[in-house]
Amino acid sequence: MTSRLSATDWTDGALDLLRIEGVAALGINRLCEHLGVTRGSFYWHFADLGALKEAVTERWCADTRTALESFASLDRLPPVERLRAMTLRLLDEDSASVERALRAWARTDERVAGVVAEADLAVFGSVQGALVELGRGPEEARVLAGLLVYAGIGFAHGEAGLPRPTVAEVDRLLGLIV
Amino acid sequence: MTSRLSATDWTDGALDLLRIEGVAALGINRLCEHLGVTRGSFYWHFADLGALKEAVTERWCADTRTALESFASLDRLPPVERLRAMTLRLLDEDSASVERALRAWARTDERVAGVVAEADLAVFGSVQGALVELGRGPEEARVLAGLLVYAGIGFAHGEAGLPRPTVAEVDRLLGLIV
DNA sequence: ACCTGAACACCGTTCAAGT
DNA sequence: ACCTGAACACCGTTCAAGT
């Protein structure tokens, strides 16, 4: 029942809208309505719409990094299982719709693009590391990791008319690759 | 020197703007300025902005199909070379910037999304066919083709912070896959 | 410190009127 | 058949004023 809002309330609200109504719905008007506040209030917390998007993206980037670390720190998790966990993460529709939105923003906002690029690089590093542990040479590992991560990005982007892979197919694919 | 414009002139102009100034620049104002005409004129040719985008996307889709057919109809081209040609097509920056724009539109316009999905499916079919010719079982071919095409989409989307593969790396990758 | 409310610029869209 | 020009709605942004 706090009538005053913090920056976190705004990013929370933005994530709500993103999940419920998609990218197109995230405007200042719609968001203010969602938070029960007038438009001008937004500009006390953020310089502009881009700053809000950047803040949302940074939260997603932090989440990504946390997930990567949790996969890596479970040392008993063999590298194949780590790859599997990362891949299956993509299949979760809830987080995928957020990710799609961020990648769409990245196209028109450099700040967002920078944050997304950061997260992609982190994922790439993890995948490459896992492949090296599996006995691939560093060159091979780099090329294959690129293929896998680009595929993940392409899949996350989701506007493809292609069949979405099932869990079984992901396993089959990893079998072919490693 | 025709002072009157046809629908093709508008899609041509849109493609110009897309290549020169990127997605963000393609608005009705900017486009009318580019064509030396006033805003209202646009609406004689198209129902709305989405219709223009759809028309542009349809041209790109036709180009894609033509390219696929030319690869396939060169019967002496062995399947590996066909895969190579399709892959290298992605590295061409000029067409990539257009493709990026279309995929961004697809996110917010269902008509565009439909056309893009069509093109993706056509590419998928070609890749799968090439892999089968190379001796892969139909299941394997499907999964691998999915991986390759999704990777192509991810790459085309281009906002990734990952290193862009070189021609040599594409060859190395195809060597690993086939 | 946080919010309101009015104002402005910009852009997509409509439409009556012109040639 | 194709275009102009004025009008309108909508949205991002600013800012002085409120609590």
Q: Could you read off the pLDDT of A49-108 as tens digits, one per residue?
A: 999 999 999 999 999 999 999 988 876 789 999 999 999 988 887 778 888 889 889 988
CA distance B152 to A153: 10
Contact A160 B153 (CB under 8 A): yes
| DSSP letter assigned to residue A35 | H
Higher pLDDT, B140 or A2: B140
CA distance A178 to A171: 11
In the structure, how far is the CA atom of residue B41 from the C1' atom of nucleotide D6, in angstroms?
Answer: 14
Contact B150 A160 (CB under 8 A): yes
Contact A154 B150 (CB under 8 A): yes
Distance from CA of A3 to the nearest CA of B (A): 34
Which tokens in the block code for residue B2? 């025709």
Q: Determine contact, residues B113/B126, Cβ cutoff 8 Å.
A: no
Angle at which helices B79-91 and B110-133 pack, to 10 degrees? 150
pLDDT greater than 90 at residue A133:
yes
Write the pLDDT tens digit of every residue in B3-36: 688 889 999 999 999 989 988 889 999 999 999 9
Residue with minimal CA–C1' distance to C7 is A40
Q: How far is CA A58 from CA A65, A109, A118, B95, B132, in A?
A: 11, 13, 10, 31, 43
Secondary-structure percent of chain B, ordered helix, strand, coil, rounded to 5:
80, 0, 20
Closest nucleotide relative to residue B29's CA, C1' based:
C11
CA distance B66 to B99: 16
Q: How far is CA A145 from CA A65, A79, A176, B171, in A?
A: 17, 13, 14, 15
